[in-house]
Structure 1
Amino acid sequence: MSQTLIWRLLSGARHTNILNYNQSLLSSNERILSNYFSLRNTSFFNKLPAEDIWRGVTAVSNAGKKRGRGKGSGKKVAKDLNKGQTIGFGKCGRIWPGLNSPLIRGNELINQQKLNENLDRENGILKLRDSMGNFKLMKLNPIDRGWSGSKMPGRSIGPPDPVGDEEFISFDTRVLENKIVFIMKGNMGRKRRYSVLSVTGNGNGLAGFATAKAPEVRTALRKSKNRAGQKLINISLCENRTIFHDFRTDFGKTKIFCFQKPDGYGLVCHRVIQTICKVIGIKDLYAKIEGSTNLQNIVKAFFIGLMTQRSYQDIANETSSNIVQQQKARNGFIDVKGIPFLNSSLTHNTHEIDYMHYTLGNQIVLKRKGTLPFYVYSKGHNLHQIKAERFRNQANVRLHKLVNSYA
């Protein structure tokens, strides 16, 4: 004890002063102990929430993301040990009045009781914990998949949202492009956004396309879909399945040559043009792209070509000539497609006009001849052709015999 305390005791100090001094000593000791234990119990895991800790373990820098790193990271491997647990039902099952059972049942006071062991419950909890870390992506239906697996380009995102009482019935929207773009802000620096290009249509000649950007993917998809529904274009179809005539169109460095094809030919073209044709309602088409294959240039060039189409009657009035079509599938049958409108100011031409050159603007696709392999003129190849001469038409003859035998 200090000299001051001894002097106060000897001088007959009040008992209350001694009590106050003892209380101050106790409070100071408690403060020291509380500070000591708070420092000991506080760590890195207590300061930050779980999400921040996981982010610090699995995060990848911006430079690493650009190089393709960290695609498989970010998965939490921890198990929730409280999953499937209930108070009182464990390895040592017990009835705890007030926790998992009532205190009084009727007129009887319930006491603690031990429950029977339930091995099936333990096995079920272990299976539940083991299955927590095995997350699998939901498998898409092959019809719902896009151009490349589960990625967004080529996938359907449904019709545009209704505007008032107007609903987009029988419309379907397809994503053509989904990419990440950046913009520099003065106060935020590099800001990431998602750019989505989509096309919507009802499959009967009414379609539109639009591009939208947003910080989130879902927002960009919804904005692009609704904006495409506001920019619909009416496109005339020939026989409700193909284009009216061959045409050439371009946008920027992209050139597209489109050709009309007979019924049942299908869509032989770039996948972007295929998707647009399915949305519009075009079933038979052949298209050849020359130059740049930028997606936005292809979409704009193709829509420009569709809008610049002319019907058979319009071409007949412009050229003052009859528009006829010779159908090879019908043994050279000639079908009249357009007759010029009779007018005194128009004079009918007597010479033939190449319909294909007229619609393509006197430009055609350059078709290069295929190069022959190096062994064509060799001695061994000539010997092979001599031996295969008597079998050259065997497959066709066999098919012909099979057809006639069943006829």
Structure 2
Amino acid sequence: MELTQDDREMLSGTHGSAAADALGLVLRFAEAVGAERLVDCAQAHVDGCLYHGQASLDFVERFVAQQGRVRVPTTLNVGSVDLIHPELYIGEAELGAAGKRLMEAHLELGCTPSFTCAPYQTLLRPQLGDQLAWAESNAIVFANSVIGARTNRYGDFIDLACALTGRVPDYGLHRSENRLAGAIVEITGLENATADQAGGIAVAAGLVVGRECGDTIAAITGLPAATSEDDLKALGAAAASSGSVAMFHAVGLTPEAPDLETATGGRNVPVVARLDAGEVAAVLNRLGTVTEGAPITAAALGTPHFSLSEFERLLAMLDLAPFAVPVYVNTGRHEWERLCATGNAARLEQAGVTVVVDTCTYVTAIIRDLSGAVMTNSGKWAYYAPGNLGVDVAFGTLADTLLSAKAGRVVRA
């Protein structure tokens, strides 16, 4: 292992015992993945602030006791509670208190109180080519694919160790030669789909990439011209949920894929799936567990966290209120502050929309009534919620979801 002078000083304790312990973990991890050296990272995003048991808290509290501080700008993923709206939490009080303490402990280490699964929507958005130590599957995919920054799929504990040292192992997607596509997913006949349709097409493409490609990087061709950054966000989230995807190329849309030859490095790679309108519809139908007309007890939006542009679309549909069932929207603090500043937070509340900050409705107890199905426009929420919450789901566009919330049953625009 090649060590710099700063690495040696850190290991010796010159920068404190927390940094020394953290670098020891990073080096052992580097050895396990076969990296020969470490590289500086520009940012970290820590997933370990979501409480999964006492070990989660013990790990962080040790670094707090050592007076550790992160060495690079470090954002935080969702936690177990909404610290801004604590009254929304309806789970066990003991778990809520432990989750709150875990979130606060990360702040004592100097992390930014973002508590969002979409750190790329904050003021700390990384730049093309930046080396990162990011956890949270959808954020990893977005950083690599849509921004062109570089990170592997870092998990709980190692993400914080990298943040405390500012160093990551030089392997995997940190290296240019490992960022080429090894498979092709073709979408045919949908180039002129509308903006509303593009979101569903992106989710279907993501689910297929996850299912067919595993951890192989896919080059996706034929996405609609109307595909937005929010659609690419949804694609990456669905791909990371259904498979071990860390990166994709959307040919003509993402920075490292101006064309198919560039995305593949000129190599002859196989086409692993072809999607037309019928197959997209079939993939999305399989995502839901109930059919049209089924009663719903809630609607869930914002997984990954809603962006300001998504809120603009939602606000334009508030004339559908009042809704027959509660509508929950997950978002980050950056977006919440903007909603408050513009008066739109009050508009949403008056329309019966509950904005959830710092956490997500599929990972913690917030939705009051799960006796019926939940309607969502999120492929990730639909994929995870049946297992996490034991609830039936229906998937549709944003318009579908709001119309269903008004009707109290699954309807389609």
Tell me the TM-score normalised to structure 1 length.
0.24
More helix by share: 2
Structure with the bigger RCO (C-alpha within 8 Å, sep 6+) is 2
**Which structure has the bigger radius of gyration?**
1
- Calculate the TM-score normalised by the size of structure 2: 0.23
